[in-house]
Structure 1
Amino acid sequence: MAKIPFIVLAAAMPTAAPAQPSGEAAALIAEIGWVLYVGAAAIFVAVAVLLALAMFGPASLRRRLSRPALIVGAGIAFPVAVLTALLLYVLSPTSAATRAAAPLAARIEVTGELWWWRVRYLDASGALLFETANEIRIPTGQPVEFLLKSDNVIHSFWIPELGGKLDMIPGRVNRMRALARTPGTFRGHCAEYCGAQHAQMRLDVQALAPAQFEAWMRAQREPARAAATPLRQGEQLFMQACASCHAVRGTSAAGTLGPDLTHLGSRPSLAAGVLPNNVGALGGWIAGSQHIKPGNGMPSFDQWPGEDLRAVARYLESLK
């Protein structure tokens, strides 16, 4: 009988190495989690040992373990002391105040849509610098602030390797600070069920060296390059069918219902992480978006001939 608690404990232990935190907030969460886990495991083992001794130990030991003083101490005083200590540890001041005082490298407004992420980079006064979708890039070693919003349902913004979850609630703006300690590519998620395609609402996050981040920011603020002659047919088709929903800065396309596509060709994925970003995937998404991601806001252009699909896909792929 005494073996059962140890089997349960072993089953609860992690079986694979967890992802290493890359952000200050994620590192703090991981530290708190491990302290609580190790402390709980130690208490569990101690209680299991006492239980085994009380059931199967020598009679003299069992008599001592049955004393009222021990029951009061172990059953009331010990849990109160331990839980109070853990609570004070979890709520203890951290370096949050220091991080709050540090100058921000970027202010990024993220809006949860159905089912994708609208990402807008803002200057210090809150004016728009540029807009992108389903990708975020931040500098390493410098704090950034996320302004989290939703205009439809509740979403939850979560980049596990950088920090904790924070809800995006219609009618209010929640703020989160993050600091990436090392370069890398991370995957963000919506962590609150938000409808049919909740599981297909992912986010690409890249932490870059500060110089690379500044170069990316400058490139993103530029309008799209003019379409070369071989791409003109695709551009014309796009303007006719897509410009009412999508924007491409530097052209007459100024729609706001769908993602800004100004530099679509430089993004790592399509449709909020559903497809890789290449010409074939672009053509497939245009022709069958409702088959790939049912219920999203973009209709399927399955009536277009293959030549038109390829032309529009090549034009979009050129937007870098």
Structure 2
Amino acid sequence: MRGTRVTIIAGAAGALSACNAHQSTLAPFGADAADIRHLFLVMLAGAVVIAAGVALLMRHAVRAPEDRLTHHQGMRLVLWLGGVIPTVVLLGLLVWSLPYMKPRPLGPADLQIAIEGEQFWWRVTYRPPGAAAVESANEVRIPVGRTVAFRLTAADVVHSFWIPGLAGKMDMIPGRTNTLVVRADKAGRYRGQCAEFCGLSHALMALDVVAMEPAAFDAWLAAERRPATATGQGAALFAANGCNACHTIRRAGQAGAIGPDLTHFGSRQTLAAGILPMTTANVAGFIRHPEKTKPGVRMPAFPQLTHGEATAIARYLQGLQ
């Protein structure tokens, strides 16, 4: 009895550990994820009913006396329960689910966001209609109630773009662009994840997702379009150590295109593609030894920097709002 109780508690704890509101298909903030949850719950209810029916039939078959059914009656039972009824049920579920598979329409005035998967981070480029593109990284912001098209591709290996609370997952394939059309219905901060094994730090390739009210999103995008400014010892150290060969900081004259755009780095809440909180200590540590946080990362280490120098660069980057 005690062993059974322990098993039940362990199973419940394991199930509850997967329950959260910021990365769950059962806590949707987008219309498509809400449809997926609805489909799941209906299919789950159907599966429970079928499983219960099979269990009752098995119980009846075990307890029934021998020769209760003739061969003809048994074959007819197999035909109906194993052929006709499952076919009708599955066909009905297919017809019922077809409207949910219809792609969301996309208009020329809708926002497009190009997202490119890299090892192990996300390059994000906003392309609003009639305006210049705005590049960012490792964070996606979308307006609530508006249709948004994600243009998905990859620079190196196959990745998979998945924001569980917003929509289903879609592969990111080098040399090919896939389109995922979504609409957020609830504001908040959520999380996405790469869902395709892409290297040593696949599990450490996350994504901050912020759904904003339309007016707030428009104001944010206008501010993001403007260059960020910050000065101090960290700015000189950033350039002296060649960081500008990989990273872009608009207005500061840094125009590297290999790594993430850092123009508004300080306005983000997490570091290293959603893995670490945005603190000075974490930024400085990642600059000196990024491989300790993300094995296999392509960013070179800078162990030659002193703690003070790395801290100065970190404070400079955090000042880029």
Same fold per TM (> 0.5)?
A: yes
Q: Structure 2 counterpart of 1:49, which letter?
A: L
Partner of 1:235: 235
Q: Which residue, out of 143, 151, 155, partners 1:147? A: 151
Q: Structure 2 counterpart of 1:30, which letter?
A: R
Q: Which residue, out of 24, 28, 46, partners 1:39? A: 46
Partner of 2:210: 206
Does structure 2 conserve the Cα–Cα contact (< 8 Å) formed by 1:103 and 1:143? no
Does structure 1 conserve the Cα–Cα contact (< 8 Å) formed by 2:124 and 2:136? yes
Partner of 1:299: 300
Q: Structure 1 counterpart of 2:194, which letter?
A: C
CA gap of 1:101–1:197, structure 2 versus 1, over 3 A, is closer
Structure 2 residue 277 is the aligned partner of structure 1 residue 270? no
In 1, Cα distance between equivalents of 2:117 and 2:313: 27
- Superposed counterparts of 1:50-89, under 5 Å: 50-57=57-64, 66-89=73-96
Q: Structure 1 counterpart of 2:173, which letter?
A: I
Instruction: Output the aligned Cα RMSD.
Output: 2.3
> Deviation string for 1:288-317 (max 9, x for gaps)?
112221221111211112221121111101
> Deviation string for 1:87-146 (max 9, x for gaps)?
2222x224956x415665421000000100000011326x75211110000111111110
In 1, Cα distance between equivalents of 2:213 and 2:108: 17
Partner of 1:3: none
Q: Structure 1 counterpart of 2:114, which letter?
A: E
Does structure 2 conserve the Cα–Cα contact (< 8 Å) formed by 1:104 and 1:142? no
* TM-score (ref. length: structure 1): 0.88
In 2, Cα distance between equivalents of 1:22 and 1:168: 23
In 1, Cα distance between equivalents of 2:80 and 2:294: 58
Partner of 1:93: 99
Question: Unmatched 5+ residue regions in structure 1?
Answer: 1-10
Q: Structure 2 counterpart of 1:234, which letter?
A: G
Q: Structure 2 counterpart of 1:87, which letter?
A: L
Partner of 2:36: 29
In 2, Cα distance between equivalents of 1:63 and 1:69: 10
Does structure 2 conserve the Cα–Cα contact (< 8 Å) formed by 1:234 and 1:311? yes
Partner of 1:169: 173
In 2, Cα distance between equivalents of 1:46 and 1:132: 54
CA gap of 1:31–1:64, structure 2 versus 1, over 3 A, is farther
In 2, Cα distance between equivalents of 1:65 and 1:256: 74
In 2, Cα distance between equivalents of 1:132 and 1:157: 17
Q: Which residue, out of 146, 157, 160, partners 2:161? A: 157
Does structure 2 conserve the Cα–Cα contact (< 8 Å) formed by 1:54 and 1:65? no
Partner of 2:193: 189
Give secondary structure in 2 for the equivalent of 1:111. strand
Does structure 2 conserve the Cα–Cα contact (< 8 Å) formed by 1:104 and 1:145? no
| Residue 160 of structure 1: how far off its partner (Å) | 0.2
Structure 2 residue 250 is the aligned partner of structure 1 residue 249? yes
CA gap of 1:272–1:212, structure 2 versus 1, over 3 A, is same
* TM-score (ref. length: structure 2): 0.88
Does structure 1 conserve the Cα–Cα contact (< 8 Å) formed by 2:188 and 2:212? yes
Q: Which residue, out of 20, 41, 58, partners 2:27? A: 20
Q: Number of aligned pairs?
A: 302
CA gap of 1:319–1:171, structure 2 versus 1, over 3 A, is same
CA gap of 1:25–1:65, structure 2 versus 1, over 3 A, is farther
> Deviation string for 1:16-70 (max 9, x for gaps)?
4664211111011111111111111101111111121122146796569954322
CA gap of 1:255–1:41, structure 2 versus 1, over 3 A, is same
> Deviation string for 1:137-171 (max 9, x for gaps)?
01111111100011211100000000100000111
Deviates more, 1:139-148 or 1:66-75: 66-75
In 2, Cα distance between equivalents of 1:121 and 1:316: 22
Q: Structure 1 counterpart of 2:58, which letter?
A: L
In 1, Cα distance between equivalents of 2:132 and 2:119: 22
Does structure 2 conserve the Cα–Cα contact (< 8 Å) formed by 1:135 and 1:204? yes
Give secondary structure in 1 for the equivalent of 2:255. coil
Does structure 1 conserve the Cα–Cα contact (< 8 Å) formed by 2:110 and 2:129? no
Does structure 2 conserve the Cα–Cα contact (< 8 Å) formed by 1:106 and 1:123? yes
Does structure 2 conserve the Cα–Cα contact (< 8 Å) formed by 1:53 and 1:62? no
Q: Structure 2 counterpart of 1:205, which letter?
A: V
Does structure 1 conserve the Cα–Cα contact (< 8 Å) formed by 2:108 and 2:129? no
